[in-house]
A and B are shown apart, each in its own frame.
Chain A
Amino acid sequence: MIATGDFACHEEAWLALPWLANGRLSQTERDKIEPHVRQCSACKEELAFQRLICDSLTAPDRVTYAPGPSFRKLMDRIDGTAPRPQKTGERSKVPASPGRAPNRGKVSPWRPPGLAWAAASFALVIGFVGVLSTVYRSSELLYTTHTDTARATPNILHIAFDRSLTIGEAEEALRSTGARIVEGPDSTGVIGIRPVASGAGDATSAGDRREMRVLSARLRADPRVRWVEPILGGDSPGERRAPLSRGQ
């Protein structure tokens, strides 16, 4: 049985053990409880357990956290270039001018509300004009051919493969779709091709045009082909189509 004085000492020591383990107990407190801990098996065992926890939690980490990326995010937030994360139920506490030096208890200078309204109205008008202009331009035919048709060989398909494709893979892709190279590739990687089945001259017959359309469709279905553009001879506006990029 523990005597009353011992009991009080044991209880005090027991509560102080975490700080005896982490080394933050003052010398006075240590002088008070260490004699008890030395002779109390329960406290000794508990202290060993506490030290085990300390050692485990302070052991070198397997992960290092460099502050650079996080700091840049924070500075973006302070400079107001990134939206402040919105949390549920949280009212905005962002200062009127977040990029300024820290507020040292000064009251923000008063600004006339009329100025804010004028700025907001101006921004609204500019935005509206921008939207109108975009809508107008969208209604126009924006597509213009990537190739100078005046200088290009007529009645061929111009295509471009994904840049990651090797020459061998490109040749294999063309062979498998029934195409042959008739010009290029040029400095931008554009190749002029025709169906293998078409004649050596210009593909002007209806059959040749059909072959071109079939070849064009096959190539557009190939994920490795980034872009296909038919270059047609003569006036055949109905045949001209916008080139297809991947994903279209």
Chain B
Amino acid sequence: MKGTHHNDSPSPAEPNYRTGSSVAREVELIARIAEGDRKAFEELYGLYHRRLARFLTRLTKRYDVAEEVINDTFYIVWRKAGAFRGDSQPSTWILGIAYRKARNAFRSSSRILALENPDAPLPPLTSDESLRTEELRDWLVHALVQLPVEQRLAVELCYELGYSCEEISTIMGCPVNTVKTRLFHARAKLQKLLPALGGATPADERDRKGSREKGKS
């Protein structure tokens, strides 16, 4: 996917979806979509496409699969806009649909998992600070693949998309404690992979392990 650009269409700037004005705008768009307003639908699609494409492409490593999930999601948004009552924020509602679609895509399709090789060694990080963030992200993407789907999705919803614990629980349709547990296990696994990543010394690793044991206990 690296270097893929589709710049033939205007792409509205991604909003700060946590502000009240953008939430109100999205609620208004959904109301107009319920009346069959295609312009409103296009605007809402533009607001979410980049966010979802990034999130889903990272999970699936395939833009075509991500695009399929996005379009499945917005097909539902188009059809069910009238059922949105504003009980949750628009982004929680839409991400909830996307989450279920993505989970189904993972479960029904072995093609994604077949692409992955969980046993592949993680590349060591460079000492060059300018490249470190890029490499760390690559490493995280690689490490995330090794997590179970539910944990992976929870990590992305929390760290990348910035949802609160309650919002993730709504999106994933599970209790708050389940979200915390999923993230706890995901974090533990990511931490286990950290020494391989950072070239940590055995002493560092021992210290880290001690800290984690303390957190678990």
State the A residues within 8 Å of B (CB).
2, 7, 10-11, 14-16, 18-19, 21-25, 41-43, 45-46, 49-50, 52-59, 61-71, 73-75, 77-78, 85, 87-89, 95, 100-105
Which residue from chain B places its CB closest to the CB of A21 in the assembled complex? Answer: B159
| Among A66, A67, A71, A87, residue most surrounded by chain B Cβ atoms (within 10 Å) | A67
B162 & A58 in contact (Cβ 8 Å cutoff): yes
Interface size class of B (residues with CB under 8 A): 35 or more
Which residue from chain A places its CB closest to the CB of B77 in the assembled complex? Answer: A102
CB interface residues, B 72-108, toward A, < 8 Å? 74-75, 78-83, 108
Complex formed: what's the CA distance from A30 to B203 in Å?
32
A71 & B9 in contact (Cβ 8 Å cutoff): yes
Partner of B1, one of A24, A52, A63: A63
B17 within 8 Å of A (CB atoms): no
Q: Report if A88-B38 is in contact (Cβ < 8 Å); known contacts: A21-B159, A22-B158, A56-B137.
A: no
Complex formed: what's the CA distance from A122 to B9 in Å?
42
CB interface residues, B 5-23, toward A, < 8 Å? 5-11
Complex formed: what's the CA distance from A42 to B159 in Å?
20
Complex formed: what's the CA distance from A73 to B71 in Å?
8
Given contact pairs A18-B158, A59-B134, A85-B68, enumerate 5 new A-B contacts (beta carbons under 8 Å). A24-B163, A64-B5, A65-B4, A74-B45, A103-B79
B211 & A45 in contact (Cβ 8 Å cutoff): yes
B211 & A65 in contact (Cβ 8 Å cutoff): no
A18 & B183 in contact (Cβ 8 Å cutoff): yes
B27 within 8 Å of A (CB atoms): no
Main secondary structure of the interface of B (DSSP, over half): helix
B140 within 8 Å of A (CB atoms): yes
A42 & B8 in contact (Cβ 8 Å cutoff): no
A57 & B8 in contact (Cβ 8 Å cutoff): no
A77 & B8 in contact (Cβ 8 Å cutoff): no
Complex formed: what's the CA distance from A53 to B162 in Å?
12
Q: Report if A22-B49 is in contact (Cβ < 8 Å); known contacts: A61-B54, A65-B6.
A: no
Partner of B215, one of A42, A52, A58, A64: A42
B121 within 8 Å of A (CB atoms): no
Complex formed: what's the CA distance from A70 to B53 in Å?
10
How far apart are A99's CB and chain B's nearest CB, in angstroms? 10
Complex formed: what's the CA distance from A24 to B161 in Å?
11
13 contacts between A and B (CB under 8 A): A14-B184, A18-B183, A22-B158, A25-B164, A42-B211, A49-B194, A64-B11, A66-B9, A67-B11, A68-B10, A78-B75, A85-B68, A102-B78
How far apart are B214's CB and chain A's nearest CB, in angstroms? 5
| Among B5, B7, B34, B165, residue most surrounded by chain A Cβ atoms (within 10 Å) | B165
Which residue from chain B places its CB closest to the CB of A65 in the assembled complex? Answer: B53
By a CB distance below 8 angstroms, the chain B residues around A45 are: 208, 211
How far apart are B79's CB and chain A's nearest CB, in angstroms? 5
Complex formed: what's the CA distance from A74 to B134 in Å?
33
Complex formed: what's the CA distance from A186 to B210 in Å?
86
B215 & A14 in contact (Cβ 8 Å cutoff): yes
A57 & B137 in contact (Cβ 8 Å cutoff): yes
B184 & A15 in contact (Cβ 8 Å cutoff): yes
